Amino acid sequence: MGRFVIRRLLQMIPLLFGITFLTFAIINLVPGSPVTASALNPRMRPEDRERIIENLGLNEPWPQRYVQWVGNVLQGDLGLSLKNSIPVTDTILSVLPNTLLLTGVSLVLAFVISIPLGIYSAIKRNSWFDNTVTVAATAGYSVPTFWLGLLMIILFGVKFQQWGLYSLPFVGHRSLRETGFLDRVEHLILPAIALAVVDLAGWTRYIRGQMLEVVRQDYVRTAHAKGLANRRVLFGHAFRNALLPLITLVGLSLPGLFGGAFVIETIFSWNGIGRLTVNAANESDYTVVMGTTLMFALLILVANLITDIGYALLDPRIRLE
Amino acid sequence: MAQQAQQSEILASDAALGTGTSVADRARDNALERGRLRATPGFYKRAWRRLRRDKVAMVGLVIVVLMVLFSLSAGLISEYVTGYSYSQNNLRMTLRAPGEDGYILGTDGNGRDILTRLAYGGRVSLRVAALAAMATLVIGAAVGSAAGFFGGFIDSILMRLVDVLLALPGLSLLILITALYKPGPILLAFVIAALGWAGISRLIRGEVLALRHREYVEAARLLGSSNTRIITRHILPNVMPIVIVWLSLAIPGLILTEATLSFLGLGVQVPIPSWGNMLQEAKDNYTKSWTGVFIPGFAIFITSLAINLLGNGLRDALDPRLNN
């Protein structure tokens, strides 16, 4: 197991190089540079422009700058933001907890709801409950996250307030004045639900299918035959085996979850890494974009590794070599 | 993107359940056993019969056809139904509710007719999705069948590339590329395809790998068929069912990807309407006009739902093994 983890960690290195090199190339092959727009600024003297270009190191060819960037990253330095000169490492570390909180809560939400729904749906196969769940899951799978988020804002934020009902906050991750726990929870509800819907729907469908598959297995029939109670068979024998492939699915869902965070954070003004990336990309703040891309790539790679390890720990048939 | 990956992964696991026999073969074997090969209708004809019995899938098909017709007739709608062009502003008629002042679906923040824009937006959104799907498929099929058919060195090189692509933070890169290069709708479709072909290529590789050593392929080789002929005449037709199902499940994902990018202000650029950028503009007025937000998003939702339902039906119809 230890050797497997080490080898996988080593395999991540070329992958990270590939991803960051590609991103760096995409950024730098674009015509113009972060200072191109300033040429139109009549109050900027040409020598100032030269100085800025010099300071940003833009005179050197980009492959050379990539090597420098890598060297700095290895020392934990992602450079300075082109817009506000704040170290990118600091910016990312200050917003990362917010993103992890939002995605974490969504993940738990999707997990906790989809498992009982999927199992019950499979048990009551072709009942009205099962049909409703199946249709709802397909609908949830097709719904655009950002549209759902906006509708939730309009209904639970704006309309409820107009109607004099209890309305939920939908801007930011906490109130400016209040910082209590309850306030944080209130701010989490809408974005976390909006973000959870896609995975919730997908997993419910998947668990239902897995359960139907497992219930037909011989060992389930044996369990029934030896007179175990229905509950015991379902939860002791069938459910545990149906759950295994879900681990892979959770791992596969993570990139999508972070992708969803881009839009949800933008809509709900959630001060996270997704919103940071979208804003930085729109403002051509390349150092920040490089930093967040590296961060996302790392998160995905680590999540995949954890998925594989979890799978091996839970399924004795799988040997990590 | 991620939904797409997840879907194709689900698809892959479905496919893995029955590696060995291809659907078409199995059907043919059954027919031979019963000794009435000539009397049995073709594979696709029977699949269509199965599909027609699936009410949910047929509802999906009808909605898809209606949506495509609606989008294709954008010019006619603008000319004869609404009388407005998609970019015609009227600042005295902003944010009208549906039905108000003769606007069937109301107007947006610039006083533009929403129905007209919805039709034109659909044309752009569906075109980008369809083009992206086709481009993804061409790259994926080429790489997948080459890797599966030739195996060995070519296979390992191509599959490492697939691994890298699957590990890329897809949406993050798309956001970056679109922010930097501001591509038009057509280029956007190709960019999405260039980053998204890994899933389907892996799927096709697996299928080709399973088909490569089948008797009829060996027979064709003995008869002196070239590699090209074997791939195009004997292998690809048997990969078709899985490709059709993949397409029907991937297109909703692609519609959502385009909508997401346009919604972030990075995909299709105004004044060309797309369902995504209509939503982006409408979100600034969400306190005053909820219908402006609801309508374009609903169009995205109902279209991708309909295609998903059709796709589920297609999967059942094209692969009788999965019927349970």
Residue A198 contacts B, CB cutoff 8 Å: yes
Question: What pLDDT band is residue B255 in, cutting at 50, 70 and 90?
Answer: very high
Domains of chain A: 2-74 (no CATH), 89-314 (1.10.3720.10)
Average pLDDT score over residue span A60-81: 87
CB contact A252 to B (< 8 Å): yes
Cβ–Cβ below 8 Å for A263 and B2: no
Q: What is the ipTM of this complex?
A: 0.83
The mean pLDDT of A79-87, rounded to a whole number, is 84
Which residues between 50 and 109 in chain A have a beta carbon less than 8 angstroms from any beta carbon of chain B? none
Cβ A144–B290 below 8 Å, yes or no?
no
Q: What is the mean pLDDT of residues A122-145?
A: 88
* pLDDT the model gives residue B324: 35
Indicate yes or no: CB of A249 within 8 angstroms of CB of B6. yes
Mean pLDDT of A54-68: 81
Nearest to B283 by CA among B304, B297, B299, B271: B297
The whole-number average pLDDT for the span A148-153 is 91
**Residues A192-234: tens digit of each pLDDT:** 999 999 889 989 988 888 888 888 888 888 888 988 888 888 8
pLDDT at B101 over 80: no
Domain ranges of chain B: 2-40, 44-322
pLDDT at A36 over 90: no
Report the residue of chain A nearest B257, measured CA to CA: A144
Cβ count near A282 (within 10 Å):
13
Residue B107: beta bridge partners? B113
What per-residue string of b and e applies to A29-49 under the rule 16 or more CB within 10 Å gives b? ebeeebbeeeeeeeeeeeeee
| The pLDDT of residue B131 is above 90 | yes
CATH H-level, domain B44-322: superfamily: MetI-like (1.10.3720.10)
Letter string b/e over residues A152-180, b meaning 16 or more CB atoms within 10 A of that residue's CB: bbbebbbeeeeeeeebbbbeebbeeeeee
Poorest-pLDDT segment among A106-115, A218-227, B32-41, B183-192: B32-41
- Confidence band of A23 (pLDDT split at 50, 70, 90): confident
Q: Between A59 and B159, whose confidence is greater?
A: B159
Q: Do the Cβ atoms of B308 and A138 come closer than 8 Å?
A: yes
Count Cβ–Cβ pairs < 8 Å, chain A vs chain B: 150
pLDDT, position B161: 85
Question: Which has the closest alpha carbon to A55: A295, A290, A287?
Answer: A287
